[in-house]
């Protein structure tokens, strides 16, 4: 079984501590595991690196660190491993641990526990405070592919050897496909409402909106759209493969939940950009008005 603390690693003769990649390879070799090393251009995004490695994204082991609160005084951390084409169900993780609250761990904490940067997290736990849970759907593939604690090198590991060495707790922790489809009731308008040299009374537009989730392109500036959102409620999880998404809150409170990262809470005159390829969803507790800047042609519901 692969286990142990990184802080206990033995230093090399020149005073360096062996890195996590070296330790992983040593553990795999010692256990007689069947694996292949794959070199590729530096990349940590699951879909992109899967293409570079030449395999179905479903065969990638996507690794996410989740914080689970147990009452007011206890916190546990889970390394959740799911197929690359699946979305982690954070609430399922919370229920497995009988928690009272669960969310993705902050990047700094996740990297501390995992021992490697975001995008390179291994599907093994080398930290005693990081509990390993894997979704059974991972076992459908003969090999699992994952970044080997570095962006430029990956491992293809026989799935049965992974289970034998990592000893994960197996439990369903992904969202079912039918739960991932976009909800009805979005009022999304792509045609720009205004032209250049035309005054826009944005407040008047906000005031007359009566839909719970209204999304309107105000104007096209060059190759980008400036869009207005007037909304309350929850949007579905989605991503935009090739473009970032900028949010600027005019009024209200706006929460952006992010896969693999802490949620972001925004108030009036605060802004945030979601990078291309990152799964996210807005959760809006009160009626709020938000400006968004995106490339022209974006599909608001995601790719």
Which domains does the chain carry? 6-178 (3.90.960.10), 187-295 (2.60.120.10)
Q: Give the integer Cα–Cα distance in Å for 294 and 274.
A: 11
Query: Model confidence over 97-124: pLDDT tens digits?
Result: 999 988 888 888 989 999 999 889 999 9
The CA-based angle 13-18-20, given to 5 degrees, is 175
Selection from 287, 279, 276, 249 nearest residue 265 by Cα = 249
Question: Low-confidence residues of the chain, pLDDT below 70?
Answer: 1-18, 176-185, 303
The 8-class DSSP code of residue 118 comes to T
- 123, 33 contact by CB (below 8 A): no
* Residue 145: both structure tokens together: 């592919």
The predicted pLDDT at position 184 comes to 54
Cβ neighbours, 10 Å, residue 232: 15
Tokens of 302: 């995601």
The CA angle 90-94-97, to the nearest 5 degrees, is 140
pTM for the predicted model, two decimal places: 0.69
Query: Would you state the torsion angle of the CA atoms of residues 246, 68, 260, 178, taken in this order, to the nearest 10 degrees?
Result: -90
Alpha helices in 77-128 (DSSP H): 90-96, 107-114
Torsion sign (Cα): 25, 30, 31, 33: positive
Helix (H, G, I), strand (E, B) or coil at 51: helix
pLDDT value of position 38: 97
Tokens 């604690």 sit at which residue?
Answer: 149
């Amino acid at each position: 079984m692969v286990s142990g603390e990184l802080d206990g690693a033995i230093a090399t003769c020149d005073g360096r501590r062996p890195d996590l990649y070296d330790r992983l390879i040593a553990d795999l070799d010692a256990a007689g595991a069947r694996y292949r090393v794959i070199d590729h251009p530096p990349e940590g995004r699951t879909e992109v690196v899967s293409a570079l490695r030449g395999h179905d994204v479903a065969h990638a082991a996507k690794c996410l660190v989740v914080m689970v609160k147990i009452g007011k005084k206890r916190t546990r951390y889970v390394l959740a491993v799911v197929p690359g084409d699946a979305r982690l169900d954070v609430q399922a993780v919370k229920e497995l641990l009988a928690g009272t609250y669960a969310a993705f761990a902050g990047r700094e904490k996740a990297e501390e526990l995992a021992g490697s940067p975001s995008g390179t997290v291994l599907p093994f736990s080398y930290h005693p405070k990081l509990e390993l849970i894997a979704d059974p759907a991972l076992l459908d593939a003969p090999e699992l592919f994952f970044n080997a604690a570095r962006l430029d090198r990956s491992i293809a590991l026989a799935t049965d050897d992974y289970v034998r060495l990592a000893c994960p707790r197996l439990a369903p922790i992904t969202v079912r496909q039918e739960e991932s489809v976009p909800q009805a009731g979005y009022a999304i308008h792509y045609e720009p409402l205004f032209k250049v040299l035309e005054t826009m009374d944005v407040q008047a537009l906000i005031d007359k909106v009566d839909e719970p989730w209204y999304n309107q392109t105000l104007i096209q500036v060059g190759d980008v759209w400036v869009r207005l959102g007037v909304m309350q409620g929850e949007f579905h999880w989605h991503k935009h493969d090739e473009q970032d998404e900028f949010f600027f809150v005019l009024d209200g409170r706006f929460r952006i939940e992010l896969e693999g990262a802490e949620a972001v809470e925004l108030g009036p005159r605060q802004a945030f950009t979601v990078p291309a390829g990152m799964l996210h969803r807005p959760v809006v507790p009160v009626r709020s008005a938000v400006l968004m800047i995106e490339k022209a042609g974006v599909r608001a519901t995601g790719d």
